[in-house]
Structure 1
Amino acid sequence: MRASRWAAGCYVALIGVMAGSGGLTRSGRFYLAGIVLPIPAGLVALVSVYVVRGLSTGIGGLFTETRLPDGGAPAWLTTTGTVLDTALFTAAAVATMLLAERFVRRRRASRTT
């Protein structure tokens, strides 16, 4: 059982690193891995990313600019997006692991009865 917990921890860490790398490099490949690897919860995280991005832009826009004069995103918005994206995709990986663990428990219980 310890090996499976260790593997689950590595899986969650991998998803977190992929999402963080996607945020830092703004590369779609890392985000795609963050969505695909924790399916089905990754799809929920994808929708949440867009909702959270809209909320952070809207709320942050009340206090400061959301676009730089050159058309780029300000540092606060990029940093906020990276942190929140990483948190959402990591939470999706944890949710996927919990769903898998629940599935395994139910399957074992159905075999014994």
Structure 2
Amino acid sequence: MRTSRWAAACYVALVAVSAALGGATGNGRFYLAAVVLTLPVGLVALVAVYVVRGLLTGVGGLFTGTRLPDGSDPAWLTDAGVVANTLLFTAAAVATVFVARRFSARRRTHRAA
């Protein structure tokens, strides 16, 4: 049982690091890896990324600019997006672990019956 907990923790850490690297490097391949690793819950997280980005831009735009004169994003928006994306994909990984455990437990009870 301890091995499965250790594996689950490593899995969640791998997804979190992948999402954080995606934000830090601006490379979409890391985000793609986070989505693929957390399927099917990762699809919900992917949709949530776009919803959160819209909320950050909308609410943040009430207080400060959301574009710099050169057309790029300000640092606060980039940093907040990276943090939000990392949290969303980490939550998706944790949810995937719970779904897998529930599926495994249900499968064991059906085999025993």
Q: TM-score, normalised by structure 1?
A: 0.99
CA distance in 1, matches of 2:71, 2:25: 18
Provide the C-alpha distance between the structure 2 equivalents of 1:94 and 1:41, rounded to a whole number of angstroms.
10
CA distance in 2, matches of 1:95, 1:27: 24
Across the aligned residues of Structure 1 and Structure 2, the Cα RMSD in angstroms comes to 0.4
Q: Which residue of 2 aligns with 1:71?
A: 71
Please name the residue that 1:106 is paired with: 106
C-alpha displacement at 1:106, in angstroms? 0.3
Cα deviation 1:46-83 (Å, max 9, x = unaligned): 00000000000000000000000011100000000000
Shift of 1:12: 0.2
The question of 1:93 aligning with 2:93 is answered: yes
In the alignment, which residue of structure 2 is the partner of 1:26? 26
Query: What one-letter code is carried by the residue in structure 1 that aligns with 2:70?
Result: D
Provide the secondary structure at the position in 2 that maps to 1:65: coil
Partner of 2:5: 5
Give the unaligned 5+ runs of structure 1.
Answer: none
Return the letter of the residue paired with 2:43. Answer: L
Residues matched between the structures, number: 113
Q: Could you tell me how far apart the structure 2 residues matched to 1:107 and 1:71 are?
A: 53
The residue aligned with 1:14 is: 14
SS state of the match for residue 63, structure 2? coil
Alignment gaps of 5+ in structure 2: none
SS in 2 for 1:67: coil
- Would you identify which runs of 4 or more consecutive aligned residues in structure 1 move more than 2 Å? none
